[in-house]
């Protein structure tokens, strides 16, 4: 590019760029173009965990659209290109948080809809000792099960939204127990049916389609879906807002110094109302623990509790009006997913984009010539 295009000397011969200058210009242009595309249009991600199996598999490479919900403008604008929050190899911060811009989202093609597979920043990173700005928190991928204003519940593993059973994801997995008549299953059968025993679990996970086929085998004498008991808390897998791994707030922020026992579990949860911008919630001993984190952490309010009285930004109150929309996200692998059942709501400013399709799928556990899952390439995500 002739940077002296404003010069009045029309007959001045152009100086030929050196090879180093040409390469430098090309690299700078490529970095700027790629950064703009990743920020405002589309970005590639890879699935690292089995929380979405068997809809999405470990090793699936996805393209995620920033356009569908509207691109989020950078909150932390000064960062090293192509590094999310940590520099490779040297493990230092890949961004400078000395400048923080307010949250803003460009107009999108649609809102986040129930059933969408969504990439978002992990909300619990806000309480991490390695605190990061919103747009530099870990990327998670889950399925949206509840939109702002919805009343959501889980009954015996089935999600209900506003009193109606929600469509089950195409690759939803649950856990089952079964016994045989002494004749073990052929390992080829478990491979063909994609039955998996995940590390740390006592029961095997499979889709409903696989379960229906498996229980029809002649050597299967009993077959049962594993569901946590209704009306009982599960101390082995505590859920939001009483999960000690993800505490809602310090003990001094609890009304009367304690939390109620909701008697909820991963398979029998709620009902719970998902906050919507402009919705005013009445704060009492049952609702306060559900929404305290949203009010304090995500909407940046100062909360104090004195006995049974709540003070927000120094004013005594018994209600709160939300400033943002929130969503409820769950993994399709229902018993092996760290999702909203354990840490609560996802604020709208954490939404990254919508997963569109798989452009590559790589199986680390397969033989060399079978590592690429050819049948998954360029599959749309539903």
Residue 188: alpha-carbon gap to chain centroid: 33
Per-residue model confidence (pLDDT) at position 108: 95
Rg, C-alpha atoms of the chain = 25
pLDDT digits (tens, 9 = 90+) for 232-265: 888 888 999 988 877 777 777 878 777 788 999 9
pLDDT digits (tens, 9 = 90+) for 90-130: 889 999 999 999 999 999 999 999 999 999 999 988 877 77
Whether 311 has a pLDDT exceeding 60, the answer reads: yes
Confidence of residue 146 (pLDDT cuts 50, 70, 90): very high
Range 15-148+329-382: architecture per CATH: Ribbon (2.10)
Per-residue model confidence (pLDDT) at position 1: 47
Tokens of 277: 């911008």
Compute the distance between CA of residue 285 and CA of residue 3 in angstroms, rounded to an integer.
67
Residues of the chain with CATH 2.10.109.10: 15-148+329-382
> Which region among 142-146, 161-165, 195-199, 355-359 has the lowest average model confidence (pLDDT)?
195-199
Per-residue model confidence (pLDDT) at position 316: 96
Whether 24 has a pLDDT exceeding 50, the answer reads: yes
Strands 309-312 and 315-317: antiparallel
The CA distances from residue 117 to 64, 271, 328, 329, 332, in Å, are: 10, 22, 12, 9, 10
Whether 318 has a pLDDT exceeding 50, the answer reads: yes
How many CA atoms within 13 Å lie on the side-chain side of 31? 11
The runs of H, that is alpha helices, within the chain are: 19-40, 187-192, 208-214, 288-293, 340-343
The residues pairing with 312 across neighbouring beta strands, listed in sequence order, are 303, 315
CB neighbours of residue 97 within 10 Å = 14
The CA distances from residue 86 to 81, 91, 254, in Å, are: 11, 6, 35
Per-residue model confidence (pLDDT) at position 11: 58
Per-residue model confidence (pLDDT) at position 9: 54
pLDDT digits (tens, 9 = 90+) for 254-309: 787 777 889 999 999 999 999 999 999 999 999 999 999 999 999 999 999 998 89
């Amino acid at each position: 590019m002739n940077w002296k295009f404003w010069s009045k000397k029309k007959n001045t011969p152009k100086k030929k760029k050196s090879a180093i200058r040409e390469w430098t210009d090309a690299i700078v242009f490529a970095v700027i173009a790629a950064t703009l595309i990743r920020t405002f249009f589309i970005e590639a991600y890879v699935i690292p965990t089995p929380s979405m199996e068997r809809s999405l598999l470990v090793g699936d490479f996805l393209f995620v659209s920033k356009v569908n919900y509207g691109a989020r403008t950078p909150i932390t604008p000064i960062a090293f290109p192509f590094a999310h929050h940590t520099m490779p190899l040297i493990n230092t911060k890949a961004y400078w948080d000395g400048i923080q811009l307010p949250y803003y989202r460009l107009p999108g093609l649609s809102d986040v809809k129930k059933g969408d597979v969504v990439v978002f920043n992990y909300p619990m990173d806000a309480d991490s000792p390695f605190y990061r700005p919103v747009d530099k928190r870990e990327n998670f991928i889950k399925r949206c099960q509840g939109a702002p204003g919805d009343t959501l519940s889980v009954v015996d593993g089935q999600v209900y939204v506003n009193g109606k059973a929600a469509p089950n994801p195409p690759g939803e997995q649950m856990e089952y127990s079964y016994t045989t008549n002494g004749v073990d299953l052929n390992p080829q059968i478990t491979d063909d049916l994609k039955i998996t025993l995940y590390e740390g679990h006592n029961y095997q996970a499979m889709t409903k389609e696989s379960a229906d086929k498996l229980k029809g085998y002649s050597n299967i004498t009993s077959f049962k879906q594993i569901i946590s008991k209704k009306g009982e808390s599960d101390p082995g897998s505590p859920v939001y807002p009483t999960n000690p791994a993800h505490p809602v707030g310090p003990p001094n922020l609890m009304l009367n110094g304690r939390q109620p026992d909701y008697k909820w579990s991963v398979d029998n949860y709620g009902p719970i109302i998902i906050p919507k911008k402009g919705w005013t919630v009445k704060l009492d001993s049952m609702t306060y623990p559900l929404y305290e984190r949203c009010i304090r952490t995500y909407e940046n309010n100062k909360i104090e509790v004195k006995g049974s009285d709540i003070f927000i930004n120094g004013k005594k109150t018994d209600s709160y009006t939300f400033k943002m929309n929130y969503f409820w996200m769950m993994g399709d692998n229902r018993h092996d997913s760290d999702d909203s059942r354990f840490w609560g709501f996802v604020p709208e400013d954490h939404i990254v984009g919508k997963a569109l399709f798989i452009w590559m799928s790589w199986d680390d556990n397969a033989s060399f010539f079978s590592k690429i899952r050819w049948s998954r390439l360029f599959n749309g995500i539903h």
